[in-house]
Amino acid sequence: MDWMLKDLAETVPCIRHVIVLSADGLRLAQHGTDPDTADRLAAACAGLQSLANAVGHEFPHGDGRMRLVVIEVGGGFFYLMAAGSRAYLAVLADEGVDAGLVGQRMRDLVARIGEHLTTPVRGSEQIA
């Protein structure tokens, strides 16, 4: 998966970090960042996807599932996209990024690898 994350980062100017994470905030893969930063971002993403799902349930005709969260802050953008069952793709990009291109490339990547990004539900039977 590393080369696909690298491809996303290198074909869209201004992308700084690319992370794949599980729904419970565990880093599964990364590109362009160190493991500590990736772990912090993955943990933050778990909270964001949970919040987005809670908001999604307020739409009476929707399915309540989070598909995409975009946050714009001074200095750049953050994108979080559902990427499979209990898996997510996160991208941090600088201010000059082409937001449409980021979204398109993220969707393309998820379409290519989404079925391979399924993470199992963790339960007490998995604790050894």
Q: How far apart are alpha carbons 20 and 25 in whole angstroms?
A: 10
Q: Provide the residue ranges of all domains of the chain, joining segments of one domain with +.
A: 1-115
Domain 1-115 in CATH 3.30.450.30? The answer is yes
* Amino acid 18: pLDDT: 96
Taking residues 46-51, report their average pLDDT: 91
Looking at the whole model, is its pTM more than 0.75? yes
19-44 burial, b if ≥16 CB within 10 A, otherwise e?
A: bbbbbebebbbbbbbeeebbbebbee
**Helices 99-113/2-11 angle, 10° precision:** 160
Q: Residues 106-120: what's their mean pLDDT?
A: 76
Report the relative pairing of strands 15-22 and 68-73 from DSSP bridges.
unpaired
Q: For residue 32, how many C-alpha atoms fall within 13 Å in the half-sphere facing its CB?
A: 23
- Amino acid found at 53: N
Q: How many Cα atoms occupy the beta-carbon half-sphere of 92 within 13 Å?
A: 17
CA angle 44, 47, 53 (to 5 degrees): 140
Give 79's pLDDT tier (boundaries 50, 70, 90).
very high
Does 121 have pLDDT greater than 80?
Answer: no
> Quick one: pLDDT at residue 86?
84
pLDDT at 63 over 90: no
Measuring CA to CA, which residue among 32, 24, 22, 4 is closest to residue 106?
Answer: 4
Summarize the confidence of residues 27-37 as an average pLDDT.
93
